[in-house]
């Protein structure tokens, strides 16, 4: 019976565990242990879900027995099962890392609160991905966002507060736009169920209300996924958040928002409407190209590695958006693939950085001079992640680069292929700056001695670093899932 | 051979994989155990490579593509043989060295080079191509001087560019043909040129050659052996495989052969001089590829084989001098033959080989390329190659040894090089003489059946005449100009006096133009970076933290823009 309720468990596990943690304020280690257990359980659930939809049909789960489209429906197919796996997988892997890192960065009496917020954010993101109801998407967006504001505000740097506040304003605008768009859709169709919407929209789609709805949803979600030039909240939020939060959010939050955009564009509005009637391809592609180029160059000039990686994240979002702006199966597949590969790669990088911060207490490149000798394993993990970010063969990043290239060439856009190859060189430069500092410079005189990071920090870091290599060689899982996800998204709701 | 063949039907262990996995143990071993292990590992590698029977091994799926990591035929085997041989020689030469990074990097580099020549498809080739770059750059950096760091950076930059072009070409090739099999690249359009340029950068074809003479002299003493042997020669292999008979390459090759010689005039660093001669020698091979006839391709392959051995020998000799004296400038060396007699002798064997003296290995391979030009009635190519031949002898056979080992006493009193260096040089020297005396051994495994005899009377006369008059010219001039001979050799007994002068004039002007271009580009790059920093740097308009209001303004603009687009 339990497997029948897996979709509900996916969200309810973290959602209900979160308030429980508030009773554990005095026992932070226990709070951590409980969070870890919940995260691994949700990971297991999402793995089971992916397995179930991989072979069989999509799962439709009616909450409380209210049949869709009247009740709230959870809908799982390969496309969002992959997203669920990314979110729950990253949170599960980050938890062993969190213990030491959080203990150092968060005051002891707030650790339980921290994990409460973390689980809520987790539940929100999982909810966005799994639900088949438009209004539910808005609700879960707000749950995850409000929890994220709290998480970011707990950063040690006082600027974290301002960063969180800015994120709050921008995030609220984003979700409000989304709500306005959903309201328009409801007004015209009288339904909130995504599959039902997809069915009823063609009849009314030539109205200006639907076009306005499209615009509000597109801009609102683009804000959440940090599409250039709506990314301005992201660098500060990622830079000043606690290490563990940055790892988690960078790998999951923008990815889930991208998934929502894909769902609306491809499944709800339909590819013909989004890219045929409305010239979405022409809107997204230039923004994606600018979004790759400018943040990449900005990243080169950053003195703070965390900020540099944050800008790199904006650029990577650009690659994903570029992939799906081709509106082809291959392009969409490349986008889904990069969703997965970038989550793994960037999480590995931010985690390695977190381990460095744990030892030297700073994220500045200058402070990292010469640490490779004392922290060889941490830096090696950083290099592996960096190679994957650049897209060196036999890493996950190369696989994405290859498919993006093919998609660009398939669309006959060879200048974009050249552009892709050229911008991957920019990543070489900014990753190199860190490698150069850590491997080739001497420790500054009088700097405190540094030891290799704790195994509890190293193990999850290396798990992800190795994953970014394994998924570059053994590509069956990500490519299979991404291909099926692309087919499903293009096919719309059955 | 049958054993490996039988093994192939089951699982096939790629020799590169074997070597790469083997290197991972090196950092955990110390002292004599490590030395023994490295030697053993390279010998096992040699044995595995030399016992592979031709055939197609291993196939796997990657990104929905059929990869063929083991396409073994006579052409790939020639290169694999000599790569594995040089791996053993280089390992022996570096036995004394205590630097795990270099050991691991050198062996992975060698493994990647063999991976490239066994690659039956373009994606596998690309993977090993990039691995070669990543491994080899450490052989430069581990010299640990600021110059070597900068040179390594430039090396990396150029090869990244070559990798990017190659990848772009491969992706385009795949979308055009639907295949990634690595055979002759017979399509037209950008894919052809992208792949060709990617290959040509690694082959150091001018004007894409500057990385070589820049980086190799800055490499570590032992790393230079591997560098001199592997990168350019894998490029020659892929050119033979992918672009035989491309007319452009004939001229590029001939220009290259001369270019290296002309630029060697300017070199004062002994390894820079040798590095320029790599460019010159690879020019013969590239020209052979361009001619594309059976004899020309045989010539290219065999010249690559012999070249790797004698060039490694020369680099080992120069390396031994640098290792023992710490000096590398012609002007600082001199009179060393009394203190390093064996090094001197072995070096001279390499020098005779590269100069194509009869009974040395260069003679049996270089003349094949020159002959190929002759039978094709390519008079100018033949002339240019012959001229480069004279210049080669002048520099590596006369100038370098004269100023290093003979000549004025520099006051240096070094010891003879350590035994392992001499042994490695001895092995290479043995092969140089062996192939020169018994060329049938080399001809036996060339890709096409060899119907060529190097030791005909006219070859012998022509070659000896060329060499002896070059030598005569050198010593005559030496007497007249004293200690600092200008290398304006009297070659008017060669067809025309003007030709070399023109070449040199072009070379000098080219050099000046190149420097000018460099300065210009350096300036414009500096301006460009300043401009970038102004807009993208910290605190600039694109990177600063924006007031929330401005961010919201952007949102409004984007929304209004979208609405506008949708309604219109």
pLDDT for B482: 35
pLDDT digits (tens, 9 = 90+) for A151-198: 999 988 888 898 999 899 999 999 999 999 999 999 999 888 888 888
B333 pLDDT higher than 70: yes
Q: What residue of A is the nearest CA neighbor of B148?
A: A440
For β-strands B55-57 and A73-76, DSSP reports them as unpaired
Contact A399 B63 (CB under 8 A): yes
Chain A hits for B160, Cβ within 8 Å:
425, 428
Mutate to test the interface with B, among A219, A228, A312 (most CBs of B within 10 A): A219
Residues within 8 A of A (CB atoms), B 436-475 only: none
Residue of B113, B98, B118 lying closest to B34 (CA atoms): B98
Percentage with pLDDT > 70 across chain B:
90
pTM: 0.81
Q: Does A279 touch chain B (CB under 8 A)?
A: yes
Contact A166 B168 (CB under 8 A): no
Q: Does B31 touch chain A (CB under 8 A)?
A: no
Torsion of the alpha carbons at A384, A389, A393 and A395, rounded to the nearest 10: 60
Phi, psi of B326 (to 5 degrees): 80, 5
A236, B230, B355, B549 from B86: Cα distances, Å: 53, 9, 20, 66
Reported as a pLDDT band with limits 50, 70 and 90, residue B512 is low
Maximum mean pLDDT: which of A158-162, A305-309, B478-482, B490-494: A305-309
Poorest-pLDDT segment among A347-351, B172-176, B513-517, B538-542: B513-517
Q: What residue of B is the nearest CA neighbor of A165?
A: B548
Reported as a pLDDT band with limits 50, 70 and 90, residue A146 is very high
Percentage with pLDDT > 90 across chain B:
32
Mutate to test the interface with B, among A167, A180, A298, A334 (most CBs of B within 10 A): A298
Per DSSP, helices labelled H in A361-413 are 376-390, 396-410
B444 pLDDT higher than 70: yes
pLDDT for B504: 59
Contact A417 B533 (CB under 8 A): no
pLDDT for B507: 58
CB A175 within 8 A of CB B555: no
Poorest-pLDDT segment among A3-7, B53-57, B242-246, B542-546: B542-546
pLDDT for B502: 57
A252, B358, B432 from B442: Cα distances, Å: 60, 16, 11
Mutate to test the interface with A, among B108, B132, B548 (most CBs of A within 10 A): B548
pLDDT for B289: 93
Partners of B55 in the beta sheet? Answer: B72
Poorest-pLDDT segment among A73-82, B40-49, B298-307, B390-399: B390-399
Q: Does B499 touch chain A (CB under 8 A)?
A: no
pLDDT for A494: 66
Residues within 8 A of B (CB atoms), A 67-126 only: none
Percentage with pLDDT > 70 across chain A:
99
B523 pLDDT higher than 90: no
B496 pLDDT higher than 90: no
pLDDT for B484: 42
Once rounded to an integer, what is the mean pLDDT over residues B383-412? 83
pLDDT for B313: 94
pLDDT digits (tens, 9 = 90+) for B407-418: 777 777 888 888
Per DSSP, helices labelled H in A22-110 are 28-55, 78-105
Once rounded to an integer, what is the mean pLDDT over residues B480-499? 39
A337 pLDDT higher than 70: yes
Nearest CB to B168; choose among A232, A236, A421: A421
Question: Can you tell me the distance from the alpha carbon of A477 to that of B80, in angstroms, rounded to the nearest whole number?
Answer: 35
* Nearest-CA distance A199 → chain B (Å): 22
Q: Which carries the bigger pLDDT value, residue B6 or residue B207? A: B207
Cβ within 8 Å of residue B434, ≥6 positions away = B361, B441
ipTM of the complex: 0.76
Tokens of B167: 């990848």
Contact A409 B172 (CB under 8 A): yes
Residue of B271, B483, B491 lying closest to B396 (CA atoms): B271
Q: Does B193 touch chain A (CB under 8 A)?
A: no
DSSP secondary structure string, A204-254?
HTTSHHHHHHHHHHHHHHHHHTT-TTS-TTHHHHHHHS-HHHHHHHHHHHH
A75 pLDDT higher than 80: yes
For chain B, the maximum distance between any two Cα atoms, rounded to a whole number of angstroms, is 90
B525 pLDDT higher than 80: no
B510 pLDDT higher than 80: no
B483 pLDDT higher than 60: no
Q: Collapse the DSSP code of B22 into the 3-class scheme (helix H, G, I; strand E, B; otherwise coil) and give the result.
A: helix
**Sequence spans of domains, chain B:** 244-507
Poorest-pLDDT segment among A279-283, B48-52, B221-225, B233-237: A279-283
DSSP secondary structure string, A123-167?
HHHHHHHHB-BHHHHHHHHHHHHHHHHHHHHTSSSTHHHHHHHHH
Once rounded to an integer, what is the mean pLDDT over residues A333-348? 92
Contact A392 B63 (CB under 8 A): no
Q: What residue of B is the nearest CA neighbor of A212?
A: B563
* Nearest-CA distance A230 → chain B (Å): 7
Chain A hits for B536, Cβ within 8 Å:
294, 297-298, 300-301
Once rounded to an integer, what is the mean pLDDT over residues B370-386? 85
Q: Does B549 touch chain A (CB under 8 A)?
A: no
Q: Does A208 touch chain B (CB under 8 A)?
A: yes
Once rounded to an integer, what is the mean pLDDT over residues B433-444? 90
pLDDT for B3: 36
Contact A392 B543 (CB under 8 A): no
Residue A304 CB-density burial (10 A; 0-12 exposed, 13-18 middle, 19+ buried): middle
pLDDT for B488: 36
Mean pLDDT across chain B: 83
Mean pLDDT across chain A: 89
Contact B562 A219 (CB under 8 A): yes
Residues within 8 A of A (CB atoms), B 165-184 only: 167-168, 171-172, 174-175
Poorest-pLDDT segment among A216-230, B169-183, B334-348, B482-496: B482-496
Tokens of B146: 């600021």
Poorest-pLDDT segment among A139-143, A464-468, B59-63: B59-63
Reported as a pLDDT band with limits 50, 70 and 90, residue A367 is confident
Chain A hits for B64, Cβ within 8 Å:
479
């Amino acid at each position: 019976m339990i497997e029948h309720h897996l979709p509900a468990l996916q969200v309810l596990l973290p959602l209900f565990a979160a308030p429980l943690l508030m009773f554990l304020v005095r026992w932070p280690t226990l709070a951590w242990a409980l969070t870890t257990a919940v995260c691994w359980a949700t990971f297991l659930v999402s793995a089971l879900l992916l397995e179930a939809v991989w072979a069989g049909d999509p799962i439709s789960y009616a909450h409380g027995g209210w049949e869709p489209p009247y009740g709230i429906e959870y809908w799982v197919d390969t496309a969002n099962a992959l997203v669920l796996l990314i979110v729950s997988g990253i949170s599960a892997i980050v938890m062993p890392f969190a213990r030491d890192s959080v203990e150092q960065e968060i005051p002891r009496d707030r650790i339980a609160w921290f994990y409460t917020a973390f689980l809520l954010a987790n539940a929100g993101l999982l909810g966005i991905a799994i639900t088949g109801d438009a209004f539910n998407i808005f609700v879960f967006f707000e749950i995850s966002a409000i929890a994220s504001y709290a998480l970011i505000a707990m950063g040690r740097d006082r600027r974290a507060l301002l960063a969180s506040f800015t994120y709050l304003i921008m995030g609220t605008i984003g979700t409000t736009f989304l709500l306005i768009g959903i309201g328009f859709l409801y007004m015209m169709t009288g339904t909130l169920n995504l599959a039902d919407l997809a069915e009823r929209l063609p009849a009314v789609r030539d109205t200006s209300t639907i076009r306005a709805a499209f615009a509000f949803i597109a801009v609102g979600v683009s804000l959440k996924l940090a599409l250039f030039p709506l990314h301005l909240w992201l660098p500060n939020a990622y830079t000043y958040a606690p290490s563990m939060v940055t790892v988690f959010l960078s790998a999951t939050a923008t990815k889930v928002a991208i998934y929502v955009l894909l769902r609306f564009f491809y499944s709800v509005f339909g590819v013909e409407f989004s890219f045929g009637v409305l010239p979405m391809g022409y809107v997204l592609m230039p923004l994606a190209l600018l979004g790759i180029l400018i943040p990449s160059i900005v990243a080169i000039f950053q003195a703070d590695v965390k900020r540099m990686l944050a800008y790199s994240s904006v650029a990577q979002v650009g690659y994903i958006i570029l992939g799906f702006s081709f509106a082809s199966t291959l392009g969409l597949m490349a986008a889904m693939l990069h969703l997965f590969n970038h989550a793994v790669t960037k999480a590995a990088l931010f985690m390695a950085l977190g381990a460095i911060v744990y030892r030297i207490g700073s994220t500045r490149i200058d402070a990292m001079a010469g640490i490779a000798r004392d922290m060889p394993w941490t830096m090696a993990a950083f290099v592996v992640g960096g190679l994957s970010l650049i897209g060196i063969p036999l890493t996950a990043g190369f696989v994405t680069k290859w498919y993006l290239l093919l998609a660009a060439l398939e669309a006959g856009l060879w200048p974009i292929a050249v552009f892709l190859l050229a911008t991957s060189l920019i990543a070489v430069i900014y990753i190199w700056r860190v490698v150069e500092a850590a491997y080739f410079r001497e420790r500054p005189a009088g700097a405190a001695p540094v030891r290799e990071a704790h195994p509890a920090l190293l193990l999850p870091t290396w798990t992800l670093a190795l994953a970014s290599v394994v998924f570059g060689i053994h590509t069956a899982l990500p490519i299979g899932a991404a291909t099926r996800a692309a087919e499903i998204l293009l096919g719309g709701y059955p | 051979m049958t054993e490996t063949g039988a093994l192939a039907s089951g699982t096939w262990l790629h020799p590169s994989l074997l070597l790469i996995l083997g290197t991972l143990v090196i950092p955990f071993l110390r002292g004599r155990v490590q030395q023994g292990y490295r030697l053993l590992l390279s010998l096992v590698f040699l044995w595995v490579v030399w016992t592979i029977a031709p055939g197609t091994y291993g196939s796997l799926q990657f990104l929905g593509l059929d990869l063929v990591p083991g396409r073994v035929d006579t052409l790939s085997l020639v290169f694999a043989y000599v790569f594995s041989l040089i791996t053993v020689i280089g390992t022996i030469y570096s036995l004394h060295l205590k630097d795990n990074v270099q050991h691991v990097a050198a062996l992975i580099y060698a493994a990647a080079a063999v991976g490239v020549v066994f690659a039956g498809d373009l994606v596998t080739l690309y993977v090993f191509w990039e691995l070669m770059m990543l491994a080899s750059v450490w052989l430069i950096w581990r010299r640990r001087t600021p110059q070597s760091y900068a040179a390594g950076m430039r090396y990396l930059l150029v090869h990244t560019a070559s990798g990017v072009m190659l990848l772009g070409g491969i992706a385009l090739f795949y979308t055009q043909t639907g295949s990634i099999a690595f055979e002759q690249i017979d399509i037209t359009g950008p894919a052809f040129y992208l792949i060709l340029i990617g290959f040509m950068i690694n082959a150091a074809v001018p004007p894409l050659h500057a990385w070589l003479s820049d980086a190799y002299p800055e490499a570590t003493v032992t790393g230079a052996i591997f560098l001199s042997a592997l990168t350019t020669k894998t490029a020659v292999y892929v050119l033979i495989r992918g672009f035989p008979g491309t007319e452009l390459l004939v001229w590029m090759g001939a220009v290259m052969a001369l270019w290296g010689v002309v630029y060697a005039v300017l070199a004062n660093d002994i390894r820079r001089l040798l590095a320029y001669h790599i460019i010159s020698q690879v020019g013969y091979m590239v020209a052979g590829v361009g001619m594309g006839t059976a004899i020309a391709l045989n010539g290219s392959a065999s010249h690559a084989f012999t070249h790797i051995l004698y060039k490694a020998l020369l680099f080992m000799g120069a390396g031994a001098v640098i290792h023992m004296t710490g000096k590398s400038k012609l002007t600082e060396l001199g009179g060393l033959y009394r203190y390093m007699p064996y090094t001197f002798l072995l070096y001279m064997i390499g020098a005779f080989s590269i100069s194509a003296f009869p009974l040395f290995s260069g003679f049996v391979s270089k003349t094949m390329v020159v002959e190929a030009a002759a039978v094709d009635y390519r008079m100018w190519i033949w002339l240019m190659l012959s001229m480069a031949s004279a210049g080669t002898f002048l520099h590596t056979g006369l100038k370098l040894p004269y100023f290093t080992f003979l000549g004025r006493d520099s006051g240096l009193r070094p010891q003879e090089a350590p035994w392992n260096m001499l042994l490695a040089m001895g092995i290479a020297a043995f092969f140089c003489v062996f192939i020169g005396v018994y060329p049938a051994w080399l001809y036996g495994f060339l890709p096409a059946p060899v119907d060529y005899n190097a030791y005909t009377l006219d070859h012998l006369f022509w070659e000896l005449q060329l060499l002896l008059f070059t030598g005569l010219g050198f010593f005559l001039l030496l007497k007249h100009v004293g200690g600092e001979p200008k290398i304006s050799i009297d070659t008017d007994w060669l067809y025309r006096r003007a030709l070399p002068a023109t070449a040199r004039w072009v070379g000098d002007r080219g050099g000046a133009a190149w420097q000018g271009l460099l300065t210009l580009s350096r300036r414009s790059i500096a301006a460009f970076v300043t401009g970038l920093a102004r807009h993208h740097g910290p605190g600039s308009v694109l990177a600063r933290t924006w007031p929330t209001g401005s961010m919201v303004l952007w949102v409004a603009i984007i929304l209004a823009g979208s609405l506008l687009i949708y309604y219109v």
